[in-house]
A = this chain, B = another copy of it.
Amino acid sequence: MKVRITEVGLRDGLQNEKLVLPTEVRLDLARRLAQAGVRRLELGAFVSPKWVPQMAGSAELLKAAVGAPEFRDVQLSALVPNDRGLDEAMQTRVPRIAIFASATESFSLKNINCSVEESFARYDDVVKRAKKQKLSVRGYLSMCFGCAFEGEVKESVVVKLAARLVEMGCDEVSIGDTIGVADPKQVRRLGAKLLRELGPRRTTMHFHDTRGTALANILASLDLGITSFDSSIAGLGGCPYAPSATGNVATEDVVYMLERMGVKTDLHMGRLIETNRWLQSKMNRELPSKVGRAGLPQRLGIVRAPN
């Protein structure tokens, strides 16, 4: 069994960190991730630096990375909120964009300042233009397992909106547990419905580890046949609604569990841990990845010996 991992630390991770990393440091991080085997990497976002200062310089970063030899095998992408963002993205020649929708009205209004319907109408144009330029498109759908403002979220709504993202032209939908409230039973129920609707190639799970359940949720997804997951190096990112909570599930933690299970990720554990150590020194805080903190077990390989 093999799993695709999309590294979102440079975008979803960093945009939720207090500290703003300079563009050169972000490029350095991207290079280290590519060297660790990351093959799908979201590098930045074409959003207003006034609102999201952490993503300032994304154009510069993308321009430096797209076409550079060290990223030859890496599918780079950038988040694009609207037509103007798409224009900026196209100037960097990034081959993949991502759009960001919400499963709930309240979060849509708070996060992107329009209703769900308005956002879909806007993205419809963006995706049409992107597809004409042969860009591939990832659709994020957030708050799929529970909403910070509305509480429980109806599974039928999540499935319907995910299907609309595919109809619109998204090659893949990333189903987000934005506030880290999902449990494995819910993942199995909603995941099965999503797989039926979208198929395995278009279904990606995006778990936050806010309450420690992310790896259990990945296991529940794997059991269903879902093989595409998002993660952030070192567990970068937080949650604006819970100050000391952790954000995205850490790439190292995902790779540790999967590789020990015999599920291939093609990522290089030792280099991920080196990148964690290096990043720790840049972020001025202890980052949440548990494998990052504990290190690899001594006398045990990452690949389990036959028993």
Contact = CB atoms under 8 A, between A and B. Distances in A.
B215 A253 contact: no
A294 B146 contact: no
Contacts of A300: 146, 151-152, 181
Interface stretch (A89-97, A108-116, A216-224): A216-224
A293 interface: yes
A73 B297 CA distance: 39
Contact of A185 (B218, B262, B295): B262
Nearest to A149: B299
Interface in A201-254: 209-213, 215-216, 218-220, 239, 241-242, 244-246, 250, 253
Specify how many copies of this chain sit in the oligomer: 2
A189 B256 CA distance: 18
Would you call the interface of chain A mostly helix, strand, loop, or mixed?
loop
Given A146-B297, A305-B152, A290 B210 contact: yes
A257 interface: yes
A195 B290 CA distance: 29
A239 B244 CA distance: 23
A1 to B, nearest CB: 10
A261 B148 contact: no
A151 B215 CA distance: 23
Contacts of A218: 216
Contacts of A170: none
Nearest to A307: B155
Given A146-B297, A211-B256, A246-B290, A307 B216 contact: no
Interface in A142-198: 146-152, 154-155, 179-181, 183-186, 189
Nearest to A263: B185
Interface in A248-307: 250, 253, 256-257, 260-262, 286, 289-291, 293-295, 297-300, 304-305, 307
Residue of A210, A246, A297 ringed by the most chain B CB atoms within 10 A: A297
A305 B256 CA distance: 33
Contacts of A181: 260, 297, 300
A295 B246 contact: no
B299 A213 contact: no
B295 A154 contact: no
Contacts of A154: 307
A253 B151 contact: no
Question: Which 10 residue pairs of A and B lie closest in terms of their CB atoms, listed nearest first?
Answer: A245-B294, A151-B299, A212-B290, A183-B260, A185-B261, A215-B216, A212-B253, A216-B216, A242-B294, A181-B297
Interface of A: 146-152, 154-155, 179-181, 183-186, 189, 209-213, 215-216, 218-220, 239, 241-242, 244-246, 250, 253, 256-257, 260-262, 286, 289-291, 293-295, 297-300, 304-305, 307
